[in-house]
């Protein structure tokens, strides 16, 4: 039994930022999953969503449920992450002063995605970044 769901996310769209994750939260709630489990997924999807808004040229979030796995994929159109190892360090951020003033850019997004998921994969090139997170349904 599969499900698939996709939402487009635009560069610098701070006005709607977070709405994709709210949708995902609504979905998972309707499916009747455990609230604490849902929270891990939604926190991760929010960080992924914000990274597309802040750091990329735009992209999308995809949610798939395949068997007893939930897979969240974030795909964007670039410019990519130059040094993935560095980007994964807690507190590392290239966010501008303006973005920090809005309350983002603490450099905890990728580390938190990793911490909150069962499996974390990331691939990046100047053409774009793909982050794939998965969970075994609790």
Partner 1 sequence: MKHLVDIHVDRCIGCTRCMRVCPTEAIRIKNEKALLIKERCIFCGNCILNCHKSAYKVYSDSFANLNKHKVNVVILPSAIYGMTKNMKELGGIYQILYDYGFDEVFDLSGVVELLSQKITEYIKQSDKTYILSQCPTVIRLIQLKYPSLLSNLLPFDFPYEIGAKIARKKLSQKYQIKEEDIGISYISECLSNFIAIKEGLGKKKSNVDYVFLFNDLFRNSIDSDQINTSVAKNGIQFSKAGGFEYLSNKNEVLSVDGVKELDEILERIYLNRLDNVKLVEAYSCIGGCVGGNFTIENTFVAKWKVNQFHQTIDESIEYVNQFRHVLNSRDWMFTSEVEALSPYKLSENINQSIVKMNQINQILKQLPNIDCCACGSPSCRALAEDVVNHEKTLDDCYILKRGDET
Ligand X SMILES: Nc1ncnc2c1ncn2[C@@H]1O[C@H](COP(=O)(O)OP(=O)(O)O)[C@@H](O)[C@H]1O
Binding site for ligand X (CB under 6 A): 47, 51-52, 54-56, 76, 80-81, 87, 92-95, 104-111, 129
* Least distance (Å) between residue 109 CB and partner 1: 11
Q: Token pair of 26, please?
A: 């609504």
The one of Mg ion, partner 1, ligand X, none whose footprint includes residue 65, by CB under 5 to 8 A per kind, is: partner 1
Of 50-58, 66-74, 116-124, 128-136, which segment contacts Mg ion by CB under 5 A? 50-58
Name residues contacting partner 1, limited to 50-89 (CB under 8 A): 65
8 A C-beta contact, residue 78 and residue 84: no
Q: Token pair of 122, please?
A: 């990331």
Cis peptide bond upstream of 27, omega within 30: no
* Least distance (Å) between residue 87 CB and ligand X: 3
The one of partner 1, Mg ion, ligand X, none whose footprint includes residue 63, by CB under 5 to 8 A per kind, is: none
The one of Mg ion, ligand X, partner 1, none whose footprint includes residue 137, by CB under 5 to 8 A per kind, is: partner 1
Count Cβ neighbours within 10 Å for each residue of 24-46 and write b for 16 or more, e otherwise: bbebbeeeebeeeebebbbbbbb
Q: Which of 98, 25, 41 is nearest to 73 (CA)?
A: 41
Pick from 29, 94, 96, 125: which binds partner 1 (CB under 8 A)? 29
Q: Is residue 36 part of the contact set for partner 1 (CB under 8 A)?
A: yes
8 A C-beta contact, residue 35 and residue 68: no
Q: Token pair of 115, please?
A: 């911490």
């Amino acid at each position: 039994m599969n499900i698939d769901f996709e939402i487009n996310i635009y560069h610098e769209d701070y006005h709607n930022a977070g709405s994709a994750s709210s949708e995902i939260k609504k979905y998972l709630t309707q499916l009747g999953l455990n609230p604490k489990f849902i929270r891990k997924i939604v926190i991760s999807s929010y960080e992924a969503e914000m990274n597309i808004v802040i750091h990329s040229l735009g992209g999308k979030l995809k949610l798939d449920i395949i068997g007893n796995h939930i897979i969240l994929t974030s795909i964007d159109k670039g410019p990519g992450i130059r040094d993935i190892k560095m980007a994964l360090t807690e507190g590392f951020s290239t966010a501008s002063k303006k973005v920090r003033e809005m309350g983002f850019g603490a450099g905890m997004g990728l580390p938190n995605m990793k911490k909150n998921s069962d499996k974390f994969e990331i691939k990046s090139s100047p053409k774009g970044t793909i982050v794939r997170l998965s969970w075994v349904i609790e």
